[in-house]
Amino acid sequence: MKGIHHPRYDAAALADDMAAPMTALGHDRFAAVGYDLGMLVGYALAASHRERVTRLVGAESFLPGLSPWPPLLSDPATNEFLWHFAFNRLADVNERMVAGREEIYFGHTFTSKTATPGAIPQQARDPCPSRSWP
């Protein structure tokens, strides 16, 4: 992510980043929830802070090594649904491809991946309200 200068930016580092505010808030033990790719961070949090995480709820993701990863080339409906997993794993090029075109990327995501397309109004999904999109 641009603007974040973390010496390592992986699930384990993110897990430590999630444990830090819990410590600051005085929570020695806590439950965690991870959804989508946040499940990978939740799993890393529970694994690296076993003495602190009392329960973990995870949903809508794959755990490498524990659950099968979908094939790279699938039927068109599966590709349409899961294409972003591979795209988001690319180093740097994905951010450069989306920069200045956030509405195309996030707009497609909000339209095609929500239970009720159009349920999220434009003003709520616009990352920069003062900017007019092409």
**pLDDT band at 34, cuts 50/70/90?**
very high
- Helix/strand/coil percent split, the chain, to 5: 45, 10, 45
Q: Which residues have C-beta within 8 Å of that of residue 98, sequence separation ≥ 6?
A: 104, 105
For residue 10, the model assigns a pLDDT of 82
For residue 1, the model assigns a pLDDT of 40
Give per-residue pLDDT as tens, 45-91: 999 999 999 999 988 887 777 777 667 778 888 888 888 878 887 87
pTM of the full structure: 0.54
